Structures are given as C-alpha cells and as structure tokens.
Amino acid sequence: MDDRAGVRPLTQFTRNVEDVLSELKESRQPMTLTVDGKPELVVIDVQAWHDLIDRLEREAATSGISRGLADAEAGRLDDLDSVFARVSTGRA
C-alpha cells in the first residue's frame, strides 16, 4: 500500500489542523504523521474508524463461522450433553 499522498509532517498538521481535518473527513483515508521524517502517528476520521472496526468484526465473525462449518463437515462435533458436562467441570 503506497500511502505517501497521506503522509504529512506533524508540524504541518499542528499548524493547519482545520485544513488537515477537512482533508481527512473528505478522503476518509488514514494519514501518517511524521517526526523528523519518520512515521510516528496515524490519524483517521472517526466515521472511517468505525467503518474499519465494523469490517474487522464482520471478518472475525465470518472466519469463526467458516471454522465451525469446516469442523461440522469434518465430523468434529460434540453433543450438547458432553459440552455442558465439560463446561460444568471447567474442562471447556
């Protein structure tokens, strides 16, 4: 991922906060802030952040469902009584 267009010195950010915030909201892309030319921080619009978190949560859920389906297809299933027995004895 080439994000050089979204790289700014921290000093530019602090001097032009309103302009940079407008740019962040419009682009909805993360911006890397540098100190002495080295990446130090990443800032992102709050809605883009929420969208990212939502996407990660969906991907995690989809992955878990896929693993469960694969286990079922491979016959790696337990009946409910054995699951409750393990949980009640702390062997879950």
- Condensed to tens digits (0 to 9), the pLDDT of residues 33-44 reads 999 999 999 999
pLDDT for 92:
65
What is the rounded CA–CA span in Å between residue 68 and residue 77? 9
Report pTM.
0.65
What is the rounded CA–CA span in Å between residue 91 and residue 13? 53
